[in-house]
Structure 1
């Protein structure tokens, strides 16, 4: 049965519902726009032909499937088989591509990956650029060798770091939870093999590795958390896969394989012996060190001290350590601090990963350490004494970064102790990408859904950040490397994985409890200038909004000529507009078939003011040229290449979010009436301006 992945997702929801469901709720559950679901529902009837099931819909009620329970169960079982990979889901595709590249380190041609992921070589080439940015963070580089293919270069140590980071970002803990609770590890493995990550791993190797590890019944393995356990399984599976292909695991420069033969090292040796027996291979000795390092860095439900003794969270020894730390912080207030259950539980939860990091020399970043030291010097100084207690117990030096995190816990406890409620404020975040229109808008939208009113988010281009912007922003989230000396920055994957969201969550939590940045006296003058500029640019966008119609069969190149001529009467500027849109389109197509529109946007010297235009066919039906994939409307957004790029990006970036998030905006556009479009555009830009004023 040939059913698209998206239709499968819709059917899964409808078959699971016992009553009707609105199209809006259906779209939310599938994770796409209401418009996309409405379009897909038009094709759903053909998928129901092999079954005695009918698709029903009623205005004001919703949509549902009508048929017997037996028939619905039969269809559910049929569509649940096989891979649910959605080729149009760029985020999912790139995750798979990263793992495929990590698993197969050798040379591969673009055709190999395009066949693997069912997309064109041009799409894979674009995906590889995004994947390359992620790999660069771990010292790995995608190298294109003409005539030979694609390869990944970097040290073995960095290669392993990348594998581990990917596992941490993309793990599905539910699958391994089943492995813990089930007597049959084979069933758990089969379910994992159907998952997105499982699809690019060798199913046979995976099963056999799980069999080896589970069969050992070792306490040190059984106490691993879910994420760490499956991480170990994948780590080993990829290594075995490479060894079976005679890809030797070289020792990286500077790697010291002489780890002390403690409990973890002996366990790693035992695992390697079992694997050698199972796969009838010889595993290099350095792999013992890598497995040992993975185990040491993994999270456990128990903590091992330096002498090998195991203690459980909450037992007497840990409680004594907690009391010593509190006494060292402030002997006079210690008694009251020990009565604060919220503080004690929070500190206990923080101590577990802290102790593991200290015992195994693992580093941690604290991007607001400087601000903690400057804003709360007394608390930080007291926490330095707490760190000495912790260091003496673990026989390690406690880094300043860890001391900074302790200061957050103790500082919050002091606020409660002094009878004050924590002063929670809105946090100001700057999200940065190359232009300030594209990726940063998508990142901002996702962050806003996570943090809602807790944050005020502004998207910036890389070159838009001025001292004034830094002065009013608490921290920045960026997918690019930034040269900002006086501002904390979190570097993230543009797709914002779970690990990126968690890093952002920690920063928001800490800044919520820190004082607002002080504003200078002359800032009011600067704000007035910004307000006047914003008002002028918004007025220009509304007043000069373009709407024009073209032939249904117009080609992309012909359309570029029409856009250039419409938006500038000067031939030289018209050509600049065409060239800049073409350049942007070559990076990645801006034709979004799933949303029913194209968004051609770029920064150009071809215009002197921000431009917003709407282009449709003469009869308001779909564009027929194959390049446009059946879309109904084309939006054009041009930003002049001048000193006002930041506010222009904000205005046009806001409009771009309307295209996806505000259904009534698109409804008005599709009617094809210029003045109605101008009216709804004016309505929303008024909202934008009000919000803009509130953010200053």
Structure 2
């Protein structure tokens, strides 16, 4: 694998230290953002693994790399490759975007080729990659053979693109540091001297601006003004809609903008157009206010009453969508009112809304985000505007926090509806079920399913949030984790990570209530089906003793022979059992009991049988060999119902949870063993009858 120069330099930097280096320190020393390091983490880990380096990550301490002399030499060899100029594709694309944004003249491909140390063919490919980035921002990338490449569009779109570029590559605190620093490529887009002078001008208005706006809004204003001055110095001008400008002239904040404009004209010896003052005013009006900041009367274009009424309507809409009644949550109402004032202003003025947490919100709160999007339609309808996804993300944060408060107040612990999957829906999934229930109280394991159930979406009615499977799943749209049926240490850790993420995703409360209601006629049908299934298994309970088999293949043939009606059926049963065993045998560790199960169209009824071998045989059980002298065999029809699978799963779980049953499988006589198995089913059936099959 080819690694980027930056990743190699990060490893070099970590090797210089004998102890942990925090992400913030590493970003500072590398002159890059923390976001960049997190984005490179997979490549950093892959590089360390390739060279055999010991990379340790600790949330509060950071990163540490350990290496011997030979490994350090290998890292140095990689570093030597980059002694000349070398850029990863991401770095190249960023450099090209910057050059095109700041250049007024067309650039030939060979200019970029020399600058970045790659062929013109590579530059052509890179241009294809960045073209959509410009197109999304209403800027056209123009390529003319013999003339060069350049971008064209409206001045307002250029400025927005520059700001987008900065925020995509840097977090707020990184921008603050880099603008005031003498290095870093921010100055390729923003002139450092201009930024420092603009900052000095704004400091004169500290009592009004710095104490009124949040740090992010203040930084946004400074970036806006720095870019505006830089573009004006280059002869670029911006034009505002005349009607909007007329309305803004009467705003008190236009006077502040005018004063700032006068200072800019003096400092840079330029004419600062009135249109630019309009955009400063829009920025001031649409900025987030610090908590406790005084609100100008002219900011109250949207009255407190109007905002409160809108927020209350949004809370009611959210209740209709989710089932959560949050109208008593004062913190939510106040939070929405405070947030919506500047947010609605920004949307009305068509100003950009930035939400650096958007991707995380959509990942961790998908249901809340979806419901917040529908709730946001009330804003769009009332003010006749578009609500961007960034704003929906902020609304989701308010509702997500409120739901967490509600659940805590109600004493409700969020459970994750989980399905367990194996090839047939019985057997290994039952073993896994028992361990999951013991180890993960946050999981609500609602059923055991086969691969076909997932492929044909027979699981949709269960409203699952997670699948834990013993086999590979390609067809599932749900998050899934493939594990060893015995749940090894690494499996447990992976499940913990996913549970932690999904615990933040609150599903609609009303759907939980609806699932608890079951139609009476369905209950009667279920009880009948359960009874029929128990009777069928009782009819097909068998014990086979003194079985002679030298290996698993011979055992499978005897099992097929005992359950087939003719030679053709025998071959089909053998094939089904062999295919299942290729995935790895399931053996109860330390008990010498193999669990053999399969599903076939030639099996007409469910069967449950116990096989005792004369001598132990060796079976491959998930990466290790196990000695087996007993086998529990469960066979079901291809079209087995959910209820039939449920009864079989009951018996599979008993193998894990019922020590007496395990003992009886080993040495009890036939009557005692079969009576015990019947007793397990009868007790379970009685419980089902008492609860109406629920």
- Please give the TM-score of this superposition, normalised by the length of structure 2: 0.47
